[in-house]
Structures are given as structure tokens and as C-alpha cells.
Amino acid sequence: MLGAGITGCSTALYMARQGYSVTLFDQARQPFEGSSGWNDGKLHLGYLYAADPSLGTARQLLPGGLLFKDIVEDLLGGSIAGATTPRDEIFLLHRDSVVQQPGIDAYFRRVSDLVRSHPDAGRYWDDAARRGATPLTGAEIAGLAPEGGAILGGWRLPERSVSSRWLARRYIAALAAEQRIELRAGTRVLGVRPAAAADGLDGPFRVETEAGPDGPFTIVVNALWEGRCVIDQGIGLAPAPELTHRYRYALFIHTARPVAQDNALIGTGPFGDVKAYGDRDFYLSWYPAGLVAEGRDAAPPPLPALDEAGRQALAARILDGLAEHLPAIRRVADGAAHTDVQGSWVVAPGSGPLHDPAAGLHRRDRFGIRRTGRYVSVDSGKFSTAPWMAREVAAMFRGG
């Protein structure tokens, strides 16, 4: 198993429970140090992709989002309710949104219908998915955003988010308790090749690492996210079309005392959001400040680490950008006992800036599992879809 993010860890747990001995490789010191450990954990039902009016993105994201809770609770052996945002999330329409009224209202109604009619709709939180989107009143919007500012409308969306930091700790514990999983942390993967010249993609395979070759392995699952394509190309899989890598920083704040703060997202385009997982753990993001690198190479280049001055400057820019629209979030920053300024890669097919309605990045339905023989490459697409896709990968190898 290559990559100890939510995709690799979920697949490893499933495969181990099917009786396989699993070797899990990751370059980081521990699992969930890539994008899976440092994102806001929105469990997508499709509402955010109004710039894809075909509903293709919503349809592709929906099954994984609806089943996330059930699958992860099964894998971790316990409830994730304590780490989940407790209320419907608020969507605020920015005046520069790439989709405006009445289009966005119509889009939300179409997604609500799609969600309600899905056979798994009842498996999301507290039946929340069946409620659909409801518009906020003018007074509710005025309570959140400055009057006369950039916010033109608002809705309550029945989506939940889960703290990726909390989930990281639970996954690490679940992996440690699984005797059939051996973790090779701190091990950078350089390539995969058939174990012998005559062996093709039906295996067995050797995994080339900075520490030397490892294996043989009967199955390889590549869940390396930003590192995935280079390994696929090395073993002869055709490259995925027009991938873009974007490195995004956000703030992960733990406050000394409880702070009352709603979850709110400003859309649609390059804006930001705040997530409150309970009343002491928060995620704050402002896209124009947090986006620090972007490229189309098969593998993104290593980025320089932030020094303390850079960290503080970036945190201030994220906070200022978001507080201009949601002034109350300054209370979160003022109450911080601990702030992590953390970034990771977003990998997605398509290109172009998010402020452009025609940008290919607004479509997020082109992810999935590619299998050739006993080599599998997983583009999980989203945190919310990864456990569902891990279950699909494991099902391919049930019974040997």
C-alpha cells in the first residue's frame, strides 16, 4: 500500500481484515501528515459545485459523502460524532461568485432533490441530507457579514464536516492495533516494478524506495496523491489528463476557552471558510492568501518550509481576508491557545483560475480507481469520497 493518507489507511484496514498482510509506505513520520491530516473535512453532498451545472460533480461526490460516517465508524470501531460540526453549514454568496442568483438557488434546489432521492440519504447525519438547502433571512445574513459588503445572499446547507486532526489520531490508533499492517514510515517511494523481468502488471512487484528495494508484493495500491502520477508513469500507466497541483495553507486553531462560532463558507470561487468542530477547534481558510503554489507537472516540486516570520505573516493574511467578510472570526484567533499554519496539496484534473467560470477545475467528477492486473491507482478525488473508494478497492481483492 503506497501512501498513508485516508485512502491508503482505509484500504490497508480493509485489506488486513480480509486476511492480507499489508505493508504501508509513507515518506512522512506518521500517517495522515499529507492532505488527509490538514483539511477541513467537508463531507460533500455536491452543493459547492454550482459551477458544474451538469450535476456531474454532485452525482460523483454524493455516494461517498453519504456513506462516509458509516464506513469510517466501521473501520475505526466507534462514533465520529464528537469530531463533527454539529449544525448545518452556512453558504454565503460573494458578489464576485462565479455563479450568481438565480442560478445558485436553482442549483441548490436541484442538488437537494438529488440528495433526497438517493437510497442512502438517510445514512448521513440525523437525516440532515433530507432537509435540503434553505435560504437565510436578511437578518441572519446581517448577523454574520457586514451590511453593504460583498455578501449578497445566504443558505443553510445540510452538510457536515469532520475534524481531520481528530480523525488522524483515530486512524493512527486503528493501524497500530491491526497486527497484519506493517507501517514503513519515513520511507519515500521512488518506483514500482515487476519483481522479475517476466512478471507484468499481474505481479508480484517490488517497491523501490530511498532505503532500497522492498517486496515482493502480490498487489500494489498506489494512493500517493501528489506523488501518484510519477509512480503510475514509471510502471507504464498512461498519465491522467491535465492534472493541476495547488498547495494551500489554512489555520488550525485550538482555543483556550469555548468560542461560539457558526460554520460558514463563502462561495463560489476563490474565497474562504470557517469550520467549528465543537466550540474549541477551528479551521480558517482564505484562498487568495493560502494558495502559495500551483503547477501542472506530473509531480509538484518540494516547497521551502515556512520560517516563523513567514508563518505569522501568512496567518495574518488568512485572518484578515476572512475577517473582512466574517468579522466575528477574530474572536477565534484572539482566543487561540495553539495555532497550526499548515498546508498540503490539492490535486485535481482541469486547469484555470477559480475566479473564471469556464475553468476546468470547477468540475470534480473526473476521479476514480484504475486497475491493471494487480496494480491499482486511486485518485480519491476528495477526503469525503476516499473511504468509499477504499472499500471498492478492497472488494476487488476479496477472496484472493
Q: Is 208 in the site for ligand FAD (CB under 6 A)?
A: no
225 lines the binding site for ligand FAD (CB under 6 A): yes
Question: Hey, which bits of the chain come out as E strands?
Answer: 22-25, 89-94, 134-135, 151-157, 181-184, 189-194, 205-209, 212-217, 220-222, 243-255, 264-267, 272-277, 281-286, 291-295, 336-349, 368-372, 375-379
Tell me: does residue 5 bind ligand FAD (CB under 6 A): yes
Between 355 and 384, how does the x/- string for binding to ligand FAD read (CB under 6 A)? -------------------------x-xxx
Around Cβ 59, how many Cβ atoms within 10 Å? 16
Residues in the interface with ligand FAD (CB under 6 A) total 35
Task: Give the x/- contact pattern for ligand FAD in 308-347, rule: CB under 6 A.
Answer: ------------------------------------x-x-
Q: Among residues 39 and 268, whose Cβ is nearest to ligand FAD?
A: 39
Taking the C-alpha atoms of residue 266 and residue 325, their distance in angstroms, rounded to an integer, is 8
For the CB of residue 334, give the shortest distance to ligand FAD in the complex, in Å.
Answer: 23
Question: Which member of 132, 158, 194, 227 binds ligand FAD (CB under 6 A)?
Answer: 227
Q: Environment class of residue 171 by beta-carbon count within 10 Å: exposed (0-12), middle (13-18) or buried (19+)?
A: buried
Stretch that binds ligand FAD, among 39-47, 128-136, 191-199, 306-314 (CB under 6 A): 39-47
Question: Between residues 226 and 365, which has the closer beta carbon with respect to ligand FAD?
Answer: 226
> At 365, is the secondary structure helix, strand, or coil?
coil
Under the criterion CB under 6 A, does residue 270 sit at the interface with ligand FAD?
Answer: no
Whether 159 and 88 have beta carbons less than 8 Å apart is answered as: yes
Nearer to ligand FAD, 175 or 224 (CB): 224
Contact call for residue 12 and ligand FAD (CB under 6 A) = no
Instruction: Pick between residue 74 and residue 140 the one whose CB is nearest to ligand FAD.
Output: 74
- Among 114, 5, 1, 116, which residue's Cα sits nearest to residue 50? 114
Does residue number 245 form part of the binding site for ligand FAD (CB under 6 A)? no
The three cell numbers locating residue 53: 451545472
Residue 46 in the binding site for ligand FAD (CB under 6 A): no
Taking the complex as a whole, the smallest distance from the CB of residue 163 to ligand FAD amounts, in Å, to 11
Contact call for residues 362 and 54 (beta carbons, < 8 A): no
CB-based contact 155:112 (threshold 8 Å): no
Q: Which is nearer to ligand FAD, 150 or 293 (CB)?
A: 293
Among 94, 118, 165, 248, binds ligand FAD (CB under 6 A): 248
**C-alpha triplet 253, 256, 260: angle, nearest 5°:** 75
Give min distance, CB of 227 to ligand FAD, in A: 2
Neighbours of 100 (CB within 10 A): 17
Q: What angle do CA 245, 249, 254 make, to 5 degrees?
A: 145
- Regarding 281 and contact with ligand FAD (CB under 6 A), the answer is no
Specify the residue for cell string 509512480: 231
- Using an 8 Å Cβ cutoff, are 124 and 81 in contact? no
Q: How far apart are CB 382 and ligand FAD at their closest, in Å?
A: 3
Residue of 136, 189, 253, 332 that binds ligand FAD (CB under 6 A) = 189
What are the helix (H) ranges across the chain?
A: 6-17, 56-76, 103-116, 138-142, 164-177, 228-235, 287-290, 308-323, 330-334, 386-396
Least distance in angstroms from the C-beta of 389 to ligand FAD: 9
- Judged by DSSP in three states, 377 sits in strand
Q: Is 223 in the site for ligand FAD (CB under 6 A)?
A: yes
Q: Which of residues 12, 14, 44, 262 is near ligand FAD by CB under 6 A?
A: 44
Among the listed residues 200, 255, 185, 182, the one whose alpha carbon sits nearest the alpha carbon of residue 20: 182
Q: Cβ of residue 6: shortest distance to ligand FAD, in angstroms?
A: 4
Q: Using CA atoms, how far apart are residues 158 and 25, in angstroms rounded to an integer?
A: 36
Q: Contact, 246 vs 291, CB < 8 A?
A: yes
**Residue 35 or 268 with smaller CB distance to ligand FAD:** 35
Please report whether residue 40 would count as binding ligand FAD according to CB under 6 A: yes
244 binds ligand FAD (CB under 6 A): no
Query: Interface residues with ligand FAD (CB under 6 A)?
Result: 3-8, 25-28, 33-36, 39-42, 44, 188-189, 223-227, 248, 250, 344, 346, 380, 382-384, 386
